[in-house]
Structure 1
């Protein structure tokens, strides 16, 4: 499985984290260290009660982290939900080949297994968050080094074909009816490309980058490593992946006018991202995440 994009190029161990803190942030060196987990790009450790550190685990993530360090402090007056603010700016060294960041720790859990009713309670907060984020001046983002999105998001035809290829890898884990629903949905998309847009976006808004409190209400947005200038559909996909159909109209009313091609792209991304997360979860033998990703695909397809 060496070609998987979630495989690490280097490991970030607890002794390494302790060494880096001792050398660069000695005021933190006596605090307990606890690994929280790894995404595709970073390994995450909680340091004491108040801080969380993200360490790149592949070279591709380094410029993303550097951009994040510059733009996140500028967003304070725009972001209407709690988000992790960078406080400690670690430098690459002979000990470790990448810069790293330490942030305020946000409490909460991933929104896994929530009821539709609970999800609907966060619809207005999500809409307000994205409305304000997407209003951030693009010129300022560019001055801070935020790059144009590199993922060719607006190419629906290419993404649709890639997803149809992925279906063969899902066959063991999906029923024939589920496979047919996915295939019919993908083949039914007649739009090949949407008009390019240039908006500041979070860029990776899905359930593993969101936190909820003990009541299931949205309490924070994390992992801004894919912050970029691109199409808002990337973030608006959350209306299909996180929210049930009954609350989507209210979400878009609160967010502001959204054209139909943006909604088509947003729904496609809402199916694409959990498809990738599902394949990784199967690879990692993580049943809970696999089940959540599967349920998200079903929710995104629901009208």
Structure 2
């Protein structure tokens, strides 16, 4: 994909640096082993012993969100019906590392990669109930904690469609003729330019790399809250299309309640848009497993 991708790191944190930073600010954790779990666009993640997980921003743009997480995530607990990482350790910038960082209670589980459609369907009601409660959180409280409001202009379908077409051109050679045909047919049918704005508190990045499942494949944790924002619920409801099979969507939306056809249309678009971005990064990283899962998410989202 070339240099200067939006996910490229400004600051690299390896296990040695993470160990140093944690030991100096939280000496009570010094006896626990440090293991890097992975990284996303914005943060590098480390497991500390078996109890804690630390996230270190990789880019300047991630600093504000990590501060917002520290303020807002503790307030979410009464609304949470699925485990999530609660901040426990608030690290500050230093000479060794120029950004704040957070330590959380570790949420165990596996990423939902390669799950059967039958196992995915088992989470429909649980995931819908979780999102219903999350979206009931007071918007004003979220804004007072620094959460941004619709900074991604979620309701502008026309603009998002243009961006998506550009992204698809970059991954076209990695798609089969069948996959390309399904996506092109969907894009040609998508004629709506904008939907009416609705404001709720959003996780903001609800895809398979930010969801955990238990040994039965049922959703058991929601992680990486760095994209917390206020905006259209379709952003989170996209999981009904990317994660759930078609025959589970009815019970999902019945449990969630109140999602109109405009919301579902936008949710499906985001269910394609986000996995395409994940696919781009996976290709750049040479991660075939993530690339394959991203493509399966796209195809699932476009299956009725």
Is the counterpart of residue 215 in structure 1 residue 216 in structure 2? Answer: yes
* Aligned ranges 1:102-117 → 2 under 5 Å: 102-117=103-118
TM-score computed with the length of structure 1 as normaliser: 0.98
> Distance in 2 between the 1:87 and 1:166 partners?
38
Is the counterpart of residue 64 in structure 1 residue 58 in structure 2? Answer: no
Q: Secondary structure at the match of 1:258?
A: coil
TM-score computed with the length of structure 2 as normaliser: 0.98
Q: Which residue in the other structure is 2:265 paired with?
A: 264
Distance 1:127 1:98, change over 3 A: same
> Distance in 2 between the 1:23 and 1:182 partners?
50
Q: Secondary structure at the match of 2:204?
A: coil
Deviations along 1:219-277, whole A, 9 cap, x unmatched? 10000000111110000000000000001011000001111111111000000111111
Q: Which residue in the other structure is 1:135 paired with?
A: 136
> Distance in 1 between the 2:9 and 2:91 partners?
20
Moved more, 79-88 or 156-165: 156-165
Q: Unpaired segments of 5 or more residues in structure 1?
A: none
Deviations along 1:171-195, whole A, 9 cap, x unmatched? 2222223212111101211110111
Q: Secondary structure at the match of 2:190?
A: coil
Q: CA deviation at 1:145?
A: 1.8
Judge conservation of contact 1:164–1:183 (CA < 8 Å) in 2.
no
* Aligned ranges 1:157-168 → 2 under 5 Å: 157-168=158-169
* Aligned ranges 1:173-252 → 2 under 5 Å: 173-252=174-253
Q: CA deviation at 1:216?
A: 0.8
Deviations along 1:11-39, whole A, 9 cap, x unmatched? 00111111111210011112100000000
* Aligned ranges 1:1-20 → 2 under 5 Å: 1-20=2-21
> Distance in 2 between the 1:178 and 1:223 partners?
29
- How many pairs does the alignment contain? 303
Aligned CA RMSD, in angstroms, stands at 0.9
Q: Which residue in the other structure is 1:42 paired with?
A: 43
Is the counterpart of residue 171 in structure 1 residue 164 in structure 2? Answer: no
Judge conservation of contact 1:53–1:103 (CA < 8 Å) in 2.
yes
Q: Unpaired segments of 5 or more residues in structure 2?
A: none
